Structures are given as C-alpha cells and as structure tokens.
Amino acid sequence: MANTPTERQQLKTALTLIANKYADWMTGNQGLMALLGAREGDFDVMVKFMDEVPFISNYSLGQGAPPVGCQINGFFSKAIKPFEIYINRTRASPSTLIHELLHLLTHEIFNKNTSTRLNEGVTEYFTRKVQGAADAARYPDFLAPRQSYPTELGDVNATRNVIKTLVVPNVPAIRNQKMAIGRQRNPAFDPDPTGGVSTDDMMKRAYFKGEISMINLLKQFATI
C-alpha cells in the first residue's frame, strides 16, 4: 500500500521538528535539501511506508543494507539514488520517524567512524532532544515517551558527562586541543566569538558536521 496522506504528513512534520532544532547544523545537507524541496511524487519515491511483510522481505533482500541498526521500525539506503527510506508502518510511531530521519541526516564521516551502538545511542540522544524542543500542545503524537535504545543512550549520556565535567576541565592536553579546534569553528553556525573551551556543541559537531576531532573525543571516552 502506498503512503497515506497521514503518513506523508507525519514524515514532513518529523522533518520540520528536526529542522526547527538543528537546521543551522545541516547547511548543505543533501538529504535535508532533497526532502524539504521534494514535490509530492518525488517524496513518495524517497519515503516508503510498508506493511510488516513487505518491509521485512524488502529488508532481507538486502535492498540497501542499513549501515546502522533500526531493523525493526525503519531503515534507509543511500546506495539507491536518490536515497530511499523504508518505514515499517505497523511498528513505527511518529517519534520513530524523527529517529530514522536523523540517520539519513547524519554526516557521512560520523557514520563511517562509529560503531552501530554508538551511532544508535547518539541518534537516540538527538531524537529525544528534538522531542524536547517540540511544542507539546501542537505535536503531542511526537512526544510520546520513547523506550528505544536505553542502553546505548545511557552510555552516550555517561560518556558526554564524563567529557564535559571531568575530561575537559582536568586534562590539559584535551583542553588545549579543544581550544585549538574552537578557534577553527565556523562562525556561521557557532555564534561564540571567543571560540573558548566549550563542550556544548561537541555532539552536534560530531554528528552533523562530521568533525573527526569531536568524533574521536567521543570514541575515546565512550564505554561502548
């Protein structure tokens, strides 16, 4: 069965919620541009909601083996041009759409340099950030509490806390490294003119901008 108008609208809403929060970090992101600019027909080519059986058989046929987990609710293929996102309509909730879209919007360098577990943890971290920033009265369907990837998310939060509260303040080599990196930050998406020591953007720089120094910092202290 083809995408229903409701499904199409839900996907667009999920995209809007992500863009509202992180568009500044996704300048030039081809996936974002393609989806935002897609006409109805093109949109349905890129996004395919499927029932359980076709979804599973499509997945098992290896039509775009996913680089990350998410094998039950949805996956995407960048190998197919233009890319395609497959959503299991019998299982996916509105917030799952946020998670799956984030996978599509992740920087290539992040995908290539992280384990599936770390990738899922960080993707879930941003999924919940997007939920947290959404207008609760307007988008109640998207704010249902999520149960996905609790272990991976817990590890990511622990890693992030260790880096922010222990590593950066107390390890001079990393503090200095971060200061050096900070001075190179792009003012277009970083309004901090001092380029000072800040870990506020560490996750976004790793995930959306693919900054290898930030990715390595995460990996260095990741427990997964």
Residues forming contacts to Zn ion in the complex (CB under 5 A) are 70, 120, 123
Minimum CB separation from Zn ion for residue 74, in Å? 8
Q: Which is nearer to Zn ion, 3 or 106 (CB)?
A: 106
Cα Rg of the chain, angstroms: 18
The residue with its CB nearest to Zn ion is: 70
157: CB partners within 8 A, 6+ apart: 125
Query: How far apart are alpha carbons 48 and 59 in whole angstroms?
Result: 12
Q: Which is nearer to Zn ion, 50 or 70 (CB)?
A: 70
Q: Which is nearer to Zn ion, 120 or 190 (CB)?
A: 120
Minimum CB separation from Zn ion for residue 146, in Å? 11
Minimum CB separation from Zn ion for residue 30, in Å? 20
Minimum CB separation from Zn ion for residue 120, in Å? 5
25: CB partners within 8 A, 6+ apart: 189, 204, 208, 209
Query: How far apart are alpha carbons 172 and 174 in whole angstroms?
Result: 5
Q: Which is nearer to Zn ion, 70 or 101 (CB)?
A: 70
Q: Which is nearer to Zn ion, 79 or 171 (CB)?
A: 79
Minimum CB separation from Zn ion for residue 68, in Å? 5
- Determine if the peptide bond prior to 54 is cis (ω within 30°): no
Q: Which two tokens stand for residue 190?
A: 């970083």
Query: How far apart are alpha carbons 75 and 72 in whole angstroms?
Result: 8
